[in-house]
Amino acid sequence: MGAFSGSGMVRTVMLGLATGSRGTLGSAPLWTAAGPGKRAAMALAALGEFSGDKIPGIPSRLVLPSLAGRVFSAGTGGALLARSLGAPVALGAVLAAAATPVGAAAGVGWRRYWSGTGRPGWVGGLLEDVCAVALAGAACRGVPVEASEED
């Protein structure tokens, strides 16, 4: 398996778990390689998802349209992460995609637990966001930068 050691597999799974929580985090492997304008656009998309998720009445991330989008995002990000690690792209995609429903269910479970504590729901959501971003960041730490100067 070469450079795609157990550590590389764990990193693609970490990205999938984070993407289950926040679908826009599937693009995390691109953040270091993107120019400033593209990074800003990705950050705005993530911020929009983070804030939109707090709105009551938003459909569950566990239902098909939402979950399918997250799985696709994680699979794409897992493939990019695996490629940057010199690993089999298909394996990275499959591992990240397979971890996504677990991350989505964990996030829903956390939010359900938090809402039962009587504390403000937005605080639990913010804690989930911080954990998801930290997980995606750890998964992509040290990813080689192949940025172009173009935006």
Q: What is the pLDDT along the chain (151 residues), one digit of tens a residue?
A: 445 567 889 999 999 999 999 888 888 777 766 667 766 776 777 677 666 666 677 778 888 888 999 999 999 999 999 998 888 999 999 999 999 999 999 999 999 999 999 999 889 988 998 899 899 989 988 887 654 444 4
Instruction: Give the Cα separation of 110 and 96 in Å (integer).
Output: 21
What pTM was estimated for this model as a whole? 0.82
Contact, 12 vs 96, CB < 8 A?
Answer: yes
DSSP letter assigned to residue 57: T
Calculated CA dihedral for residues 116, 134, 17, 69, nearest 10 degrees: 90
The reported pLDDT for the residue numbered 97 is 97
